[in-house]
Amino acid sequence: MKLTHIGSSGRLEFNDLGKVVKAVAPQERNVALNPGQSIYITDGQDVMYSAQAGDAKKFAAAGLLAVNDIVTGLANAATFVIDHGYGFIPSVTIARDNAGVWEDVTFVATNLVTVKTNVAMTQTIVTNVSGGALTLNIRVS
């Protein structure tokens, strides 16, 4: 999931994304964003909680946080590169704007976009092959 600080000032501190327990050793991760900063973060229980009921939801409701990549007017044959840096092939969910409703492209047709990941598995490339412009909501996890 991508989190982007869209406010003009202040630092967003995500207190509910701070501690991750891996095996028996807790790992601290400080998730904080300054204006204009983004982070791609893999979906886990803490990330989903934050988006549904925690800090991410609170910041988004206040107009300070954008979630996912929203690509407006992606022309036919144009690409959108997602620099997630995961090091593995992510799960990708793409919805298109269909008259103001987000519609999952996997259930609509398979001829709207192609999705590829580079060899290093740090970038995902979405290409519009629909024949027209698309507005997309892209989530990598």
* Helix or strand holding residue 113 (H, E): strand 113-117
**pLDDT single digits (tens) 48-101:** 999 999 999 999 999 999 999 999 999 999 999 999 999 999 999 999 999 999
Distance set, CA 89 to CA 22, 53, 84, 86, 117 (Å): 21, 28, 10, 8, 7
Distance of alpha carbon 2 from alpha carbon 40, whole angstroms: 4
Distance of alpha carbon 79 from alpha carbon 130, whole angstroms: 12
Q: Where are the alpha helices (DSSP H) in 7-129?
A: 45-53, 55-61, 105-108
CATH numbers and ranges of domains, the chain: 2-67 (no CATH), 69-140 (2.60.40)
Percent helix / strand / coil, the chain, rounded to 5? 15, 45, 40
Per-residue pLDDT at 46: 84
pTM score over 0.85: yes
**pLDDT single digits (tens) 19-42:** 666 666 666 677 899 999 999 998
* 3 has pLDDT over 90: yes
